[in-house]
Amino acid sequence: MKSFSSVLLLAGLATASPVARQTTGPYDITNFSASKVHLSGYCNFAFDVSAPGLSVPSHCTAYLDSGFSGATWLANVYEGAGKCDNAAVSWTFFQPTTAGSGATFNVTVNGVKGRYAVPAEDITVSLNSEPNPFDNDVAYTGPKAFEITEFVE
């Protein structure tokens, strides 16, 4: 009888104990850079991310074509194209090609997606030479460090 009640007690404790779950954000982004290589359509992206559930910051990069050397937008980093040194982290970046658009930057850590809206004024376009659009430069010129506080299920 005694052992039976202790089994019941243990079963009760097991149900009551909370399911281990990652605390959501914020995700701290540091050293963020994104820029188009001069006279090329290729863009370089790099940043570090610290988040609950990551014991050390993860370093992420991408090198992708914006589609046109004279682009006035940053390349689309589609799902799977951004690299990180931790498999628990993935990210995407998208700036519409419409002049003066901001961008969306999503960072997923352990399946929890954080979303950051990059303001249009944080992306600087330099039209160096009107007759030669290939001279265009595009770069992120906003703060290198920011927090992602919006999470999407």
**Which residues contact ligand NAG (rule: CB under 6 A)?**
30-31, 48, 57, 92-94, 104, 106, 115, 152
Q: Cα 1 from chain centroid?
A: 57
Residue 33 CB, nearest approach to ligand NAG (Å) = 10
Rounded CA-CA distance 14/18 in Å is 9
- Between CA 37 and CA 3 the distance in angstroms is 71
Nearer to ligand NAG, 57 or 136 (CB): 57
Cβ nearer to ligand NAG, comparing 83 with 115: 115
Do the bridges between strand 137-140 and strand 89-94 make them parallel or antiparallel, or are there none, so unpaired?
unpaired
Could you tell me the smallest distance in angstroms from the CB atom of residue 27 to ligand NAG?
A: 13
**Least distance from ligand NAG to the Cβ atom of residue 92, Å:** 3
CB of 54 to ligand NAG, least distance (A): 12
Q: Is the dihedral of CA 115, 96, 81, 49 positive or negative?
A: negative
* 59, 84 contact by CB (below 8 A): yes
Q: How far is the CB of 84 from ligand NAG (least distance, A)?
A: 13
Which residue in 29, 64, 43 sits closest to 138, CA to CA? 43
Identify which of residues 92 and 136 has a Cβ nearer to ligand NAG in the complex.
92
Distance separating alpha carbons of residues 151 and 19, to the nearest angstrom = 20
Q: Which is nearer to ligand NAG, 36 or 75 (CB)?
A: 75
Helix (H, G, I), strand (E, B) or coil at 27: strand
- Complex with ligand NAG: residue 9 or 145, whichever CB lies closer: 145
